[in-house]
Structures are given as C-alpha cells and as structure tokens.
Amino acid sequence: MLHHKITLYTTPNCHRCMLLKNWLKSRGFSFDERDLSNPDVMAELIMRDIFVSSAPVLEVDGEFFSSDELFVDSSLNEVLLLRLLED
C-alpha cells in the first residue's frame, strides 16, 4: 500500500466527520486533522482556492474531496475512499 498524505478537515460535533475519522483509523490510515472552525485554517484553504461549504473535507495527496463526494446520503462512499487510498 502506498503512503498517502491525508488531511481531514473537520468541525466540532460533526457526525460525518466522526464517521470518516473512525473509518480511516480502523483501516490504519494516518492523517492530520484540521479544524474548519479555526479562521486560520479556513484562510489557508481560501488561499489555495478551496472554498468549503460543509465538513468533512478530505485532502489526499493535494486533491480535495467534499462532503458531498465522501458520502452517499448518510453513508460513507467507501468505493471512492478505497479507490483513493488503497492503490
């Protein structure tokens, strides 16, 4: 398995964030977690032309995936996640 640079952007009390965080941990992926409620974190994303409307946001090797991509209804889009992370 390749080692990807993974950053998970979350907010406090975010159910979807916890689901994704637990999924990553249960599969042994290491990741950095950044808090979107921190204005400095949001400013960093905006400087990179990334505009976030909801959490979580997943960055894998510099590519960003929105909550709408990461979830199908209320379930994790495991097909996408496995394709991104287990190549």
Q: Which domains does the chain have, with CATH numbers?
A: 6-85 (3.40.30.10)
SS3 assignment, position 57: strand
E strands present in the chain: 6-10, 32-35, 57-60, 63-65, 71-72, 75-76
Write the pLDDT tens digit of every residue in 29-38: 999 999 999 9
To the nearest whole number, what is the mean pLDDT of the chain? 93
Q: How confident is the model at residue 87 (pLDDT cuts 50, 70, 90)?
A: low
Write the pLDDT tens digit of every residue in 58-69: 999 999 999 999
Q: Mean pLDDT throughout 19-42?
A: 96
CB atoms within 10 A of CB 13: 8
pLDDT confidence of residue 47? 96
Q: What pTM, to 2 d.p., does this model score?
A: 0.91
